[in-house]
Each structure stands twice: as structure tokens, then as C-alpha cells.
């Protein structure tokens, strides 16, 4: 049965700055002075606009410098640097706030964006991009208003420009600390693909937004005899594409994306023609360079962020491989991309409102971090290196490591009577036939398999999760979602006590398909006793069959380095990385696992033909999930005793700043 409901909110927008500017603004606006902070010691700030900073190849990048007008600066100020493609002026309020607390602040347009000349290519960390980051840090340290100690900050792309530093032979000698928020670790692993499947809505919306700004600033697109650059009254082809994006998601083939190709911007097609992990993606992979890091790094992000897994990978990689493992810190809250520090958190994470104390103020966090790492200030209170907000417990917890030391990796097995989809349906009750249990075999639900049909012409529509240009976050699973016949549903019995899940999750599916290529998507949900129909989306993961070995480690990007078609009807062991999360499933609730083959448009549809993103023809696939003693499909959950979590409760993510649910003015 067809169930597509396209009334679900899409978060894309039409503008000349680029889709990411909306995300940049949310962070910058949220970064005003917090009531938890003392009044700033400095009232006035001097701003030097559009300073030209020479790179090693002679290109001058446009840079704004914010300096305190007073204060003790005989030897200069500790200096903060951020580099952005979203227009440096957007970060002015945040930069001025830092300056009022005694920092010199450098805000720069990256090469090829807004005030900076040159060619722009998103997320290229090789050559000029990484060298520009290095040169800017060293330029800042050499100015007479700097004391030579430099820290970097920024979220999303501005986190990527910080991580680009590791792609140099060594870090800049004057770099003392980093604070990348909501950051990718591997652009193949989280930024453009996940589990080998293209992140369609993010890729198209985001990169087309960049192309709009480039097109509209390019003098070659002016026709002096007819019209100026398209504006409010006349849309460029790229702007028309942005307005029609909902339909363009459906267009086949995915490659090429004609609006950008015709405008001369190749980066989206480059992303989508490089479907496997290769040299193209290696130069955008920070995980290969953690051993160069010898400075403190604050990693912070959100459990519902598109880069959730990237923030965790970066922290774990620094702990395992860097020269300063003890100086890596991690802060995670229940946020979508860049939406930390916003009062109405529920408004940006689906129809769900977290407890007041889930919020935190980014400026408070960063001033505490740079106070410790650049100014040598002592901590105002206990600050364990790992600080996590746990929904359900509704508290911040502190730890020395992640995953948590008390983690008990526990397998929950899939069982059914052969029909794990919808059971009896009434207006008030839904009954699902699939069972989720820690028992490997089940005496009552003992069928060996479940089957469904996946039709790429009628995909499951994305609702919540890790999205930027589509409604993200917790999100109640729509009733129509579970009226479909292509979703298998497995639930625990009603929980007799609270169950805490904190950390990365791995699903193992023994599955076959009639197709040479297909996808499997696994979603973890929290089902409350009032609304069994929906369930709150907690975490998910996907895997594309033809990209790499489906039985190999799903968190190793090199797993996805070659195309290997499936043998139709052969049973494979599929390993699927369900992204890290934190949640207490309360007594009286149920834990639910859904299995299906699409989550569109978060992921591009698998057409089941083996043609990948260049394909135009579709085939229907017959899917089988096995769950018997020899093929025990399961989901391994990282359980932590709730009593242990309760002993780890801290006041909030910032030492000395109790989290009382305040929001910036």
C-alpha cells in the first residue's frame, strides 16, 4: 500500500547565502551572553572590517578582527579564529561577545566566498583549504594585538575548517586549543554518505545553496542588455531548482544533477559519482590524522545531529591516537544540527519538548573552555571530560570515557510468528506481531523469517532523525508510517523497570533479497503506553548492499571501498551501524526496532538494479529477514545500569554554571 505523506516539513530555504547559513545563524544567534556569566569586563570593542590576510600563494582572504578597547593587554590578547563560507558578518555578535571577555577574535570568509577571492569547493581539505587554515592561525598569532596563543572555534563547516588543520604536515605551532562543534569526522562516513547510501536531501539542498551564492556573485552571469543578476523578481535556474526541490528529490537519475551541472558547479555530481570510499574521500577524512593532534580539543554536538556519529568518532579517535588523549573532551545534548542553546528545543527536534535543563549556552561553554586552555584559568567546578545529556533520565551525566565504563553490550533478538508487520488495528490500538527479546530463541514466536516487498517507487518517507534540510530530531512516528506493509516491527514486552541505552549501536541482520542491490534501514524507537502507533524516533542506521562487504565493520570507511553486487536470494550477514544515542526507556514503555529498505529523502532510493546513482529504471525487491537459531538477527544495545547513571549526574555541561534551563536573551 502507498503511504507517502509529503506534508512533513522540509527545512530547506531559498536564499543567496546557501542552505548552511540558516544553521550558522542559529548558532551565532544562540551564542549571546548567558545569564550564567558575569557581566563582561570590557564594554567597548573595536572592529577592523575586511582586513586582507595574505595566504602563502598571495591570495588575500577577507577578515574581520574584533579587539577589546580596554583591559590588560601589555603582551596582547589570547586569540580566537573561525573561518566560514556563510558570510563572516553573521558571526559578528558572537565575536564581539568573545572580545568583551578579553579575546582578540578573527572571523574570515573562506577562499572563494563573499569577500574572499579564489575558487570555492566545499569541504576540500587538501592543498589550499588546509593551508589557508594554517596560514590564518599563524598570521593571527604574529599580530601585535595577539599574545601568540590561538584557539579555533565554530560549528558545522567552521568545525571542518578547524579539522582541516590536521591535513597539514603538522599543526600550526601557535595553535593551543580547538573547539569544533557539530563536526564531521569523515565526509564519506557522515557528511555525504552513511553506510554506503547517499544522504540525498542534505547533499542536494546544501550544495545547491552554495551554488546559488556563487552563481549570483559571478560577473559572468550578468547580462547587461537584458537583466541584472536574478533577485527577488527573477530567479536563477539554481534558485528555481531550490524552490522545486521537493520534486527534484524524485528525479532520476540522481547523477547528474542538471541545474548545478548546467551552471558549471561540479561538486554535487562529484559527491554522487564517487559512490565508494576512494582517494577523493580520503582527502576529506580527518580520522587518518588524529596522531598529529597535540592540543586540547572540545568536541560538542547533538544526539539528533546529522554529524552525531562524526563528533563521537573524533572524540574516540583523539582518545585512541592523539598525542594529547587526556585533553580531548566531549559534550553531547539532545540537539539537531546547530540548535544548541535554543529555548524551544522541541520546535527544532520534532513534536517533542525536552526538559528545561537539556539546554546549554554555547558562549558559556566556549568561554569556560578557552579560559582553561588559553588563559590558564582554574575550573569553577568539577568538569569530567565527558558530559552527556540523557533524555528519559533528564539529567546531565559526567564520565571519564565514552562509551561509558559501565556499558553492558546486550543483544536483543528479533522474533515473530512470520508476520512482524501490523497486527490487529483498531481506532485506538495497534498490535505488532514482531517481538524483541534478549532470548536467542523464543518458544511462542518461533517462525524462521519475515518477508516484505520494497518498491523504490513508493519509499518510506523520512520523519525525524539526522537531517538538516528536512524535519529532524525525535519526531513521533506518524500513524501512516506503521500502516505500511513494507516495515517490520519488533517490540519488547512492557518494560518493568527503566532501561538506559547510551552509546553506539550495531544491528546484525541475516537477510536476503531478490535484487542485486538493496538497502536495509534499522530504526530504534521509544514507545510509550499512551501511543503505541507511533513511537519516538531515537536512532537509526542504514546500509547499501552493493557498496563494500555488508558483513564487514560498518564504522570502517575502507569497508566501502569497492562495488560488490549481491547474489539474489543468498543470505548475507548485514552489519549496520545505528548511530550513537543516549536515552532511558522508562518503565511502562517498550523498546522498538523497525526494519525496512528506505528512508527517503534522507537517503537516496536504492533502485534495486545495481546501477547506483546513475540509474533510471527501478525494480521491486522481495526482502527476507531471518531470525532462527542459526541466523539470529539482533540489535546490540549499549545498556548502562540506571543506578550507575544516577551516580554520575552533574549540574550541567559547563563547570561552575548550573544548568537551570535558561535561554539567551
CB 61 within 8 A of CB 116: yes
* Structural domains counted in the chain: 2
d(CA 156, CA 142): 27
Please state, as a whole number, how many other Cβ atoms lie within 10 Å of the Cβ of residue 96: 18
| Set of cell numbers at residue 248 | 527534484
CATH number for position 415: 2.60.120.260
Copy the grid coordinates of residue 131.
593551508
Same domain for 442 and 568, yes or no, is yes
594 in a domain, yes or no? yes
Residues 547 and 601 in one domain: yes
Helix axes 92-100, 362-373, angle to 10 degrees: 50
pLDDT given for residue 15 in this prediction = 33
Distance CA 211, CA 90 (A): 19
pLDDT at 164: 96
In whole angstroms, what is the distance from residue 156 CA to residue 326 CA? 24
Which residues 6+ apart lie within 8 Å of 127 measured at CB? none
> Is 316's pLDDT higher than 80?
yes
Q: Are 319 and 176 found together in one domain?
A: yes
User: Are residue 432 and residue 379 in the same domain, yes or no?
Assistant: no
State the CB neighbour count (10 A cutoff) for residue 377: 12
Q: Are 539 and 484 in contact (CB under 8 A)?
A: no
How many angstroms separate the CA atoms of 62 and 554, rounded?
41
Using one digit for the tens of pLDDT, what is the confidence trace for 251-266?
999 999 888 888 888 8
- Asked if 492 and 520 sit in the same domain, the reply is yes
User: CA–CA separation, 506 vs 316, rounded Å?
Assistant: 17
- Give the residue carrying C-alpha cell 554535487: 268
Domain assignment present for residue 419? The answer is yes
Q: What is the pLDDT of residues 143-197, one digit of tens each?
A: 999 999 999 999 999 999 999 999 999 999 999 999 999 999 999 999 899 999 9
Q: How big, in percent rounded to 5, are the helix, strand and coil portions of the chain?
A: 25, 30, 45
Q: Can you give the residue range of the structural domain that contains 48?
A: 31-189+282-399
Contact 254, 456 (CB under 8 A): no
Residue 509 near residue 625, CB atoms below 8 Å: yes
Cell of 580: 550513537
- Residue 448 phi, psi dihedral angles, 5° rounding: -90, -10
Mean pLDDT of 580-600: 95
Beta strand 449-454 pairing with 146-155: unpaired
Q: How confident is the model at residue 206 (pLDDT cuts 50, 70, 90)?
A: confident
> Does residue 114 form part of some domain?
yes
Residues in a beta bridge with 541: 522
Same domain for 416 and 389:
no
Lowest-pLDDT choice from 73-77, 168-172, 276-280:
73-77
Q: What is the DSSP letter of 40?
A: P
| CA 177 remoteness from chain centre | 22
> Which region among 70-84, 168-182, 642-656 has the lowest average model confidence (pLDDT)?
70-84
Residue 157 sits in a domain whose CATH number is 3.40.50.1820
For the cut 90, the answer to whether the pLDDT of residue 352 exceeds it is no
Rg from Cα positions in the chain: 25
Q: In the structure grid, which three cell numbers stand for residue 360, read together? A: 546549554
Tell whether 434 and 386 lie within a shared domain: no
> Does 450 map to a domain?
yes
Decide if pLDDT at 432 tops 90. no
In sequence order, what DSSP letters do the residues of 42-74 get, joined into one string? Answer: ---EEEEEEEEEE-TTSPEEEEEEEEESSS--T
Answer yes or no: do 378 and 461 share one domain. Answer: no
Residue 553 is placed in which grid cell? 565493520
**Cell digits for 7?**
506534508
Which of 376, 399, 422 represents a domain boundary (last residue)? 399
203 found inside a domain:
no
User: How high is the pLDDT of residue 106?
Assistant: 99
Task: State residue 357 phi and psi, 5-degree precision.
Answer: -75, 0
574 and 502 in a single domain? The answer is yes
φ, ψ for residue 348 (rounded to 5)?
A: -115, 5
Kind of pairing between the strands at 488-491 and 297-302: unpaired
Mean pLDDT of the chain: 86
- pLDDT tens digits along 480-500: 566 788 999 999 999 999 999
332 and 469 co-located in one domain: no
Q: Could you tell me if residue 244 is inside a domain?
A: no
Q: Do 378 and 446 have their domain in common?
A: no
**Sequence-ordered list of residues with C-beta below 8 angstroms from that of 524, at least 6 positions apart, any chain:** 501, 505, 537, 538, 539, 540, 578, 581, 591, 592, 593, 635, 637
Q: Are residues 433 and 576 in the same domain?
A: yes
- pLDDT band at residue 36 under the 50/70/90 scheme: low
Of 63, 75, 69, the residue nearest 106 (C-alpha)? 63
Cβ–Cβ contacts within 10 Å for residue 174, how many? 17
The pLDDT tens digits for 383-415 are 899 999 999 999 999 999 999 999 999 999 999
Residue 454, strand partner residues: 621
Q: Which helix (H) or strand (E) holds 585?
A: strand 572-585
Reported as half-sphere exposure (CB side, CA atoms, 13 A), residue 183 has a value of: 30
pLDDT in tens, 602-638: 999 999 999 999 999 999 999 999 999 999 999 999 9
- Which residues are bridge partners to 522 per DSSP? 541, 595
Assess if residue 214 is contained within a domain. Answer: no
**Distance separating alpha carbons of residues 461 and 16, to the nearest angstrom:** 28
Has residue 259 been placed in a domain? no
CB of 24 closer than 8 Å to CB of 15: no
- All three cell numbers of 480, joined, read 501512516
Amino acid at each position: 500500500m502507498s503511504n507517502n505523506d509529503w506534508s512533513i516539513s522540509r527545512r530547506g530555504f531559498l536564499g543567496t547565502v546557501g542552505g548552511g547559513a540558516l544553521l550558522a545563524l542559529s548558532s551565532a544567534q544562540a551564542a549571546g551572553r548567558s545569564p550564567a556569566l558575569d557581566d563582561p569586563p570590557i564594554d567597548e570593542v573595536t572592529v577592523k572590517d575586511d582586513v586582507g590576510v595574505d595566504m602563502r600563494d598571495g591570495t588575500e582572504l577577507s577578515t574581520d578582527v574584533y579587539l577589546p578597547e580596554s583591559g590588560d593587554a601589555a603582551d596582547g590578547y589570547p586569540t580566537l579564529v573561525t573561518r566560514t563560507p556563510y558570510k563572516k558578518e553573521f558571526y559578528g555578535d558572537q565575536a564581539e561577545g568573545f572580545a568583551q571577555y578579553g579575546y582578540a577574535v578573527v572571523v574570515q570568509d573562506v577562499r572563494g566566498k563573499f569577500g574572499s577571492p579564489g575558487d570555492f569547493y566545499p569541504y576540500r581539505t587538501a592543498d589550499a583549504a588546509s593551508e589557508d587554515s594554517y596560514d590564518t592561525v599563524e598570521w593571527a598569532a604574529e599580530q601585535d594585538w595577539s599574545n601568540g596563543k590561538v584557539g579555533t572555534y565554530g560549528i558545522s563547516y567552521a568545525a571542518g575548517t578547524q579539522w582541516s588543520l590536521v591535513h597539514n604536515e603538522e599543526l600550526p605551532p601557535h595553535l593551543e586549543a580547538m573547539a569544533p562543534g557539530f563536526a564531521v569526522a569523515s565526509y564519506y562516513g557522515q557528511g555525504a554518505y552513511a553506510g554506503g547510501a547517499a544522504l540525498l536531501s542534505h547533499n542536494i539542498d546544501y550544495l545547491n545553496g552554495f551554488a546559488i551564492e556563487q552563481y549570483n556573485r559571478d560577473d559572468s552571469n550578468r547580462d547587461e542588455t537584458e537583466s541584472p543578476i536574478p533577485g527577488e523578481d527573477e530567479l536563477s535556474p539554481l534558485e528555481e531548482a531550490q524552490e522545486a526541490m521537493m520534486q527534484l528529490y524524485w528525479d532520476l537519475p540522481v547523477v547528474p544533477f542538471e541545474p548545478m551541472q548546467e551552471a558549471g558547479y561540479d561538486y554535487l555530481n562529484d559527491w554522487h559519482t564517487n559512490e565508494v570510499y576512494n582517494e577523493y574521500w580520503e582527502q576529506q577524512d580527518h580520522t587518518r590524522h588524529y596522531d598529529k593532534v597535540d592540543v586540547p580539543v572540545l568536541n560538542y554536538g547533538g544526539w539528533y545531529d546529522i554529524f552525531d556519529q562524526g563528533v563521537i568518532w573524533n572524540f574516540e579517535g583523539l582518545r585512541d591516537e592523539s598525542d594529547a588523549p587526556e585533553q580531548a573532551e566531549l559534550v553531547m545534548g539532545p540537539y539537531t544540527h546547530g540548535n544548541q542553546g535554543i529555548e524551544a528545543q522541541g520546535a527544532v527536534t520534532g513534536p517533542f519538548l525536552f526538559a528545561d535543563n537539556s539546554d546549554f549556552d554555547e558562549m558559556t561553554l566556549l568561554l569556560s573552555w578557552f579560559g582553561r586552555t588559553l588563559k590558564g584559568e582554574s575550573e569553577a567546578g568539577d568538569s569530567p571530560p565527558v558530559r552527556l545529556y540523557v533524555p528519559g533520565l533528564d539529567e546531565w551525566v559526567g564520565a571519564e570515557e565514552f562509551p561509558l565504563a559501565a556499558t553492558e553490550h546486550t543483544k536483543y533478538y528479533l522474533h515473530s510468528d512470520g508476520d512482524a508487520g501490523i497486527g490487529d488495528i483498531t481506532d485506538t490500538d495497534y498490535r505488532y506481531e514482531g517481538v524483541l527479546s534478549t532470548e536467542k530463541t523464543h518458544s511462542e514466536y518461533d517462525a524462521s523469517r519475515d518477508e516484505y516487498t520494497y518498491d523504490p517507487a513508493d519509499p518510506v518517507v523520512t520523519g525525524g532523525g539526522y537531517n538538516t534540510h528536512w524535519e529532524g530530531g525525535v519526531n513521533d512516528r506518524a500513524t501512516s508510517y506503521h500502516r505500511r506493509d513494507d516495515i517490520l516491527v519488533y517490540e519488547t514486552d512492557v518494560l518493568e523497570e527503566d532501561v538506559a541505552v547510551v552509546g553506539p549501536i550495531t544491528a546484525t541482520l541475516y537477510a536476503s533479497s531478490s535484487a542485486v542491490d538493496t538497502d536495509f534501514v534499522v530504526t530504534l524507537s521509544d514507545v510509550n503506553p499512551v501511543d503505541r502507533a507511533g513511537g519516538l524516533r531515537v536512532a537509526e542506521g542504514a546500509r547499501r548492499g552493493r557498496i563494500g562487504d555488508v558483513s564487514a565493520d560498518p564504522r570502517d570507511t575502507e569497508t566501502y571501498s569497492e562495488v560488490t553486487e549481491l547474489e539474489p536470494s543468498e543470505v548475507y550477514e548485514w552489519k549496520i551501524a545505528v548511530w550513537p544515542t543516549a536515552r532511558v526507556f522508562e518503565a511502562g514503555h517498550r523498546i522498538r526496532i523497525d526494519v525496512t529498505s528506505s528512508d527517503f529523502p534522507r537517503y537516496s532510493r536504492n533502485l534495486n538494479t545495481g546501477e547506483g546513482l546513475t540509474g533510471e529504471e527501478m525494480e521491486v525487491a522481495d526482502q527476507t529477514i531471518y531470525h532462527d537459531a542459526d541466523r539470529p538477527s539482533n540489535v546490540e544495545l549499549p545498556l548502562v545500569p540506571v543506578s550507575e547513571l544516577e551516580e554520575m549526574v552533574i549540574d550541567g555541561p559547563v563547570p561552575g554554571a548550573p544548568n537551570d534551563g535558561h535561554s539567551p536573551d
